[in-house]
Amino acid sequence: MSVDRPDSPLNASGPANPSDTQEAVLAEVLAILEPLVTWLVRSGVGYAGFAAALKPVFLAQAEQELVRLGRKRTDSALSLLSGLHRKDVRALGEPAEQVTADNAAQGARWGKPSAANQVATRWLSLDWPDLIPFTGPEPSFEALARRVSRDFHHRAVLDDLVRLGVVREEGATVRLIRDAFIPQPGFAEARQLFAGSAVDHLAAGVHNLSGVPGHRFLEQSVFADGLSEESVRALHQVANQIWADALQRVVDQAVPLCEQDEGTANPQRFRLGVFSFSAPEAPGDQSSS
């Protein structure tokens, strides 16, 4: 068993041959891409469409890197950094400040909680009963929805949560379904939540690996192998319980802080995530427990 800590300075190594580093990083990125390519293939997106869509992504990140380095934006500099032909740079180019703004918004745009999601989260934080009246004073669903936003009618918010399977309407009451808090597979909300989580997870790891001075983000995992199916099921149960406890603790802290900081200058966003995964070991894998 091992604890993987990409955020730890113990993982830092000395200077490496640039070509060796490029080959290693490419191999590592391709490993990260494998499950994403599986998602693309299962969704009907082929190589040609993906490759074409990558051009503006490479250009945008080259733009961002020039801004970070304080270097002048030129077609040559962008072509060199991105590997794109200069004619593609000219065809796709856009102002650096716009790219910077777009880049900063990626994690927020993908997976930003909807009003319905915020209502469900607030319900958990208030420790209200799982069954509450639809209308009336607190605790009621109407009052809960108004706590989050007055831009959406509480009836519309309820309909959305029912559609997602997060709550169930029972006559004049509404019941929170705690074990169905995650939207059902196939819904756009589920895809967007996954995308937002993955974007921020990878951004945290890239930040830690880039040697940028200052804060290191939490980005760790625990790995164990040589396990039986029964042991894996037991570990999944432990992981689910740990997350349920962590979710409640963070929500309890986050809700009053959000209310306290409403209207603050230069607002920040925060995301905490956790995942668990298990699969058969590949033939020939050696246990490192």
pLDDT above 90 covers what percent of the chain? 19
How far are the Cα atoms of 92, 223, 231, 272 from residue 235, in angstroms, in the given order?
A: 48, 11, 6, 20
42-51, 147-156, 201-210, 235-244: which range is least confident on average? 147-156
Alpha-carbon distance of 6 to 205, in angstroms, equals 7
Model confidence band, residue 101 (pLDDT cutoffs 50, 70, 90):
very low
Write b or e for each residue in 15-28: b if 16 or more Cβ atoms lie within 10 A of its Cβ, otherwise e: eeeeeeeeeeeeee
3-class SS of residue 247: helix
Residue spans of the domains in the chain: they are 110-220
Alpha-carbon distance of 72 to 100, in angstroms, equals 14
Total residue length of the chain: 289
Report, as an integer, the average pLDDT of 88-97.
Answer: 68
Strand spans (E) along the chain: 2-4, 131-133, 167-170, 173-176, 221-223
Residue indicated by tokens 């640039």: 18
CA dihedral (221, 224, 225, 227) positive or negative:
negative
**pLDDT of 44:** 83
User: Is the full-model pTM beyond 0.95?
Assistant: no
Alpha-carbon distance of 128 to 121, in angstroms, equals 11
pLDDT of 87 > 90? The answer is no
Average pLDDT in the chain: 80
pLDDT above 70 covers what percent of the chain? 79
Judge: domain 110-220, CATH 1.25.40. no
**pLDDT of 152:** 79
90-99, 170-179, 201-210: which range is least confident on average? 90-99
Model confidence band, residue 13 (pLDDT cutoffs 50, 70, 90):
very low
15-24, 75-84, 269-278: which range is least confident on average? 15-24
Residues whose CB is less than 8 angstroms from the CB of residue 6 and which lie 6 or more positions away in sequence, other chains included: 205, 208, 209, 219, 220
How many angstroms separate the first and last alpha carbons of the chain?
4
Alpha-carbon distance of 208 to 206, in angstroms, equals 5
Report, as an integer, the average pLDDT of 270-276.
Answer: 90
Report, as an integer, the average pLDDT of 178-191.
Answer: 61
Let me know how many helices (H) and strands (E) the chain has, helices first.
Answer: 10, 5
Residues whose CB is less than 8 angstroms from the CB of residue 267 and which lie 6 or more positions away in sequence, other chains included: 261
3-class SS of residue 22: helix
Model confidence band, residue 92 (pLDDT cutoffs 50, 70, 90):
confident
Q: Bigger pLDDT: 54 or 185?
A: 54
pLDDT of 174 > 90? The answer is yes
**pLDDT of 15:** 47
